Amino acid sequence: MKKILVVAESIDLEDSSGTKGRVALIKNLHKSGFEVIVYHYTRKEIQLDGIPCHSIKENRKTILFFLSRTERYLRYWFNLKLYKLIEQVLGFSFTLFNDRNSILAALNKIKGFEPDLVLSLSKGTSFRPHHALLKIPKWHSKWMAYIHDPYPFASYPRPYDYVEPGHQKKREFFLNVSEKACFAAYPSELLARWMESYFPPLKGKSVIIPHQIDEEEIDSPELPEYFKKNTFTIVHAGALMNARNPMGLIKAFRKFLKEVPEAAEHSQLLFIGKKSKYTPEFEELKKEIPQFYSSDDYLPFTQVQAIQKNAAVNVILEAKGPISPFLPGKFPHCIQTGKPILLLGPYYSESRRLLGADYPWWSEIDNEEKITQQIGEIYFKWLNNQMFMGCDYSFLREYLSASSLNQLNELIN
C-alpha cells in the first residue's frame, strides 16, 4: 500500500471553500486505497474517519511569535500598519515565519512513517506547508506541491492582479517551490498552463487533481425559513469578492419576473454568504424585489449543501475578465446536486471548459439579456419537470471522483 503524508494548513470544513475541497481530496485518497496520514495546522483537534490526523501546535515561545503579536497589537491599538513595511523588507509576516517553523518542527519529529509521496495543501495565499517543505530536502524527490490559485497576486489574471508588498521575495519563494517540488498538482488544467507561463520550472511537473466530490452521506439539517420549498429557487452560495459583480444576475432576475409575471409567486433568488461591498445595495433591492434575499453571514457547510441540493438552479459567478483559470470550490457541490448550473463568467473559464462549449446556460457576467433568457428557459423546464435536460453531469461526476486519483499510483515509485 502506497503511503501519503499530507501536510495541510487546515482541515476545518467551516473556514473556507478551499478547505472543503482539500478535505474531500484527503478522504478520496484514503478511499482509493492509499495509506494516508495528515499533519495539519488547524490548531484544534479534528479527526477524519479512518485517517490518522495530527494537529500541529503553534510555537508561542519564540522571538517571531513575540514580534508577530507586537505588530498585531500595535495595529489594533494604534492603527500602526507595520505589516506592509515588514513584508516589503522580508517578503512575509512574522506570523508566517513562526507558523512555518511550527509546522517544520512537527514534521521533523515524524518517526516510523516513510511516505512515498508528500502532499502539501494550503489555503488562501499563505502556502505555509510549502514554506515548511522547502526546508526538508530529503522529501523534495517525493514532494507534490498543490497549487490551488495563482501566486503571487501579480500572477493573477485581471481584475484580481496587483503588486503586493514584498512581491519579489514572494515570487522568489514560489520559484524555489517550482524548482524543488517533484510534482505540481492543480485543480484546473487552465491554472496549470497559467502558472507554467509564470514559472517555467513547473513545466513537465503538472498533475491535474480536480476538486473532489465527497460521497459521504450526511444528515441534512433543516432548511432556513427564508428558503421556500417547491419554488423556483436560484442560489448563489459563497463569498462575493469585489470583482464578482452580482448586479447583472439580479437585474436579469428582476427582468425575468416582469416578463413572466406568473413566476413571481413561486420564484426566489438567494445569495448565501457573509456581507460584502454589495450589501448596502442588496438591502435596498430587498425592498424593491421581495423574491430576493441575501444572508448576513456564512451558514454551516451542511446547511449550504442542503440549500444547494434543494435549489432549482445553482449559480457560479466569476469575475469580469479575459480568463478565469480557477476551478471554484463549489463546482463539485453543484455537480453533485444534478441541478442546472447558471455559469456567469469569461469565455475562457475552467468551469466552462469542463461543462463543455455547448453548455446552454453560460453567459458573460454582465449580459443581462442573455441571463434573463436563460433564467426563463430553465424556469419553463422546471415548470414542466424537465430539470435534467441539458445537464448530464455523469462524465464530470466521474472526473471529480476518487477514481481520478488512480493516476497517482503511476507517479509514485
pLDDT digits (tens, 9 = 90+) for 180-196: 999 999 999 999 999 99
* 213-222, 345-354, 393-402, range with the lowest pLDDT: 213-222
| Statement to judge: residues 170 and 277 lie in one domain | no
What's the mean pLDDT in 77-84? 86
CATH label of the domain that carries residue 286: 3.40.50.2000
Does some domain include residue 225? no
Question: In degrees rounded to 5, what are phi and psi of residue 8?
Answer: -115, 140
- The three-state secondary structure class of 283 is helix
Are both 241 and 325 inside the same structural domain? Answer: yes
Domain identity same for 200 and 335 = no
Q: Are residues 295 and 194 in the same domain?
A: no
Q: Is residue 214 assigned to a domain?
A: no
119 pairs with which residues across the strands? 6, 144
- Residue located via cell numbers 494548513: 9
Q: How far apart are CA 377 and CA 357, in angstroms?
A: 18
Question: Tell me: the pLDDT tens digits for 285-341?
Answer: 999 999 999 998 889 888 999 999 999 999 999 999 999 999 999 999 999 999 999
pLDDT value, residue 390: 52
pLDDT at 387: 62
Domain that holds residue 34: 3-209
Q: Are residues 122 and 243 in the same domain?
A: no
pLDDT tens for 126-151 read: 899 999 999 999 999 999 999 999 99
143 Cβ neighbours under 8 A, 6+ residues apart: 118, 120, 133, 180, 181, 182, 183
Same structural domain, 195 and 243: no
Q: Give Cβ neighbours of residue 283 (< 8 Å, ≥ 6 apart).
A: none
Using a pLDDT cut of 90, give the percent of the chain over it: 81
Share of the chain above pLDDT 70, in %: 97
pTM: 0.93
Reported as a pLDDT band with limits 50, 70 and 90, residue 389 is low
Residues 45 and 149 grouped into a single domain:
yes
Q: Based on the fold, state whether residues 254 and 375 are members of the same structural domain.
A: yes
Helix (H, G, I), strand (E, B) or coil at 303: helix
Please state the domain count of the chain: 2
